[in-house]
Amino acid sequence: MVDIFEDAPSLVINYLSYMQNIKGKSEKTIKEYYYDLRTFFRFIKCKRKLAQFSDFENVSISDVDLDLIKSITMDDIYDYMFYVAKDRKNSSHTRARKSSCIKSFFLFLTTKAKVLDVDPTKELESPKIPKTLPKYLTLEESMRLLEAVDGEFKVRDYAIITLFLNCGLRLSELVGINLSSIKDDRLYIKGKGNKERTIYLNEACQNAINEYLKERPHEGVKDKDALFLSKRKSRITTKMVQVIVKKALARANLDTTKYSTHKLRHTAATLMYQYGDVDVRTLQKILGHEQLTTTQIYTHVSDTQIKDATSKNPLANFKKKD
């Protein structure tokens, strides 16, 4: 931890270590926390005239100490949120994440490290995030995408897209699948925060995997337990999977700027909810969401469902007597 974030002060190191080792946050999340706190303390130093805004990206935070942290007020935090919105053009999603990180850091200092008596972020509200429906492929578009898979590694690529569309996997989860993770019709996944969950493979997934295993290389394989291998016989990378999906989308005449690997996860969740009679809590377990509210974005209804519901109104066929 110290080697990775060498310019971070000890209190930030302690916080990041706590979030990773106790709260189980992923390495990627820990890096985001670090970058968010670094930006925050650079701003505080510049505001206190301890550094120059003109040299913002080079400001070191290694000298941030408890006295400086104790001097931070709610006004400072509001000024910072205004700065990232106006000067750095951060989106509402990014500002919400930065706000959450700062709140979490100060909560750690007051309740865990116990070096602060007062938490200046206690009344801090998170920026409102506009509610938008997730983008997803329709059932017909999903079938078109599967039909469009082609090329030298089409059996492998078909299995990859089949798993995305049927299981709702994250990109990192798909790349991380091991042969030893598959037991009959079960796939054991290690998701966010190293939390494990079980995915049940339907017939389409089992068939796609079995067909791929028939031609998966065995000799000269660098990662023998990796399910999906690259041309060089090493575990396939996230970037390569993104390329595979983009090519298939293009072949299916689907918008490659609108859809991505993550949109295939959205598609799987939406199709399961719309066609599979899956309740939201079951969907939460399948997707590996920590919060139910995250899953609820998939419970939107289609125009067809709205029309169908209206047509089933008991007054739908009522006619006034002459």
Q: What is the CA radius of gyration of the chain?
A: 24
* Secondary structure of residue 8 in the 3-state scheme: coil
Annotated active-site residue 131? The verdict is: no
CB burial string 56-94: b at 16+ within 10 A, e below = beebebeebeeebbeebeeebbeebbebbbeeeebeeeb
For residues 39 and 57, the answer to whether their CB atoms sit within 8 Å is no
Alpha carbon distance 297, 312 (integer Å): 25
pLDDT at 147: 94
Question: Is 131 among the domain residues?
Answer: no
pLDDT at 197: 81
Strand partners, 190: 196
Q: What is the mean pLDDT of residues 310-314?
A: 58
Residues 249, 193 share a domain:
yes
Name the residue with tokens 């002060």. 9
Q: Which of 70, 144, 190, 192 is catalytic?
A: 192
Q: What is the mean pLDDT of residues 42-58?
A: 95
Residues 218, 89 share a domain:
no
Name the residue with tokens 């925060």. 193
Residues 54, 180 share a domain:
no
Q: Which of 42, 170, 216, 266 is catalytic?
A: 170
Residues 224, 151 share a domain:
yes
Annotated active-site residue 262? The verdict is: yes
Residues 199, 74 share a domain:
no
Question: Is 312 among the domain residues?
Answer: no
Annotated active-site residue 300? The verdict is: no
Alpha carbon distance 40, 55 (integer Å): 14
pLDDT at 276: 67
Annotated active-site residue 298? The verdict is: yes
Annotated active-site residue 265? The verdict is: yes
Residue from 15, 59, 16, 19 nearest 193 by CA:
19
Residues 287, 160 share a domain:
yes
Residues 185, 269 share a domain:
yes
Q: What is the mean pLDDT of residues 46-51?
A: 95
Q: How many domains does the chain have?
A: 2
Residues 105, 146 share a domain:
no
pLDDT tops 90 at residue 265 = no
Residues 192, 261 share a domain:
yes
Range of the domain at 247: 139-307
For residues 96 and 64, the answer to whether their CB atoms sit within 8 Å is no
> What CATH number is attached to the domain comprising 187?
1.10.443.10
Residues 277, 202 share a domain:
yes
Question: Is 126 among the domain residues?
Answer: no
Question: Is 172 among the domain residues?
Answer: yes
Residue from 91, 95, 123 nearest 36 by CA:
95
Question: Is 90 among the domain residues?
Answer: yes
> What CATH number is attached to the domain comprising 22?
1.10.150
pTM for this predicted structure = 0.60
Which pair of structure tokens corresponds to residue 56? 């913002």
Annotated active-site residue 216? The verdict is: no
Residues 158, 70 share a domain:
no
The sign of the CA dihedral 41, 47, 51, 53 is positive
Question: Is 262 among the domain residues?
Answer: yes
